[in-house]
Amino acid sequence: MPKQYYEEFEQDWETVIIKKENQKINITKLTKIDIPYHTQITFSRQQNELTQQDFAQALNVKLKVIEDIENGIITPDKKLITKMNKILISKIPYNKS
């Protein structure tokens, strides 16, 4: 802003310094949030800016397979997850269930 602008106004407030008193802060350990497996896959795909069609082509599977995985209808096997992890930035853990 031009210098003139500052000269026209006077500061009509006082500087306030807020000091925090010494106090004990309780830190609780955050627990891992369980995100549904199919949601993790969808999120990872979207992070890579891939459409379901692009993702299916890259994995050499049908679009229906990707749709079913992301809707939680089927769970990919370890081989398919390995392929996904080669394509995606966010890595998908192997499903233990």
CATH of the domain at 70: 1.10.260.40
Q: Are 85 and 92 in contact (CB under 8 A)?
A: yes
What is the rounded CA–CA span in Å between residue 52 and residue 58? 10
Is the residue at 11 inside a domain?
Answer: no
Host domain of residue 65: 37-87
What is the rounded CA–CA span in Å between residue 40 and residue 34? 10
pTM of the model: 0.62
Is the residue at 47 inside a domain?
Answer: yes
* pLDDT band with cut points at 50, 70 and 90 for residue 35: confident
Is the residue at 55 inside a domain?
Answer: yes
Inter-CA distances, 77 with 25, 74, 88, 92, 97, Å? 45, 9, 16, 12, 11
Is the residue at 8 inside a domain?
Answer: no
pLDDT one-digit tens code per residue, 78-88: 999 999 989 98
Inter-CA distances, 11 with 3, 54, 62, Å? 15, 59, 67
Q: What's the mean pLDDT in 42-71?
A: 94
Is the residue at 16 inside a domain?
Answer: no
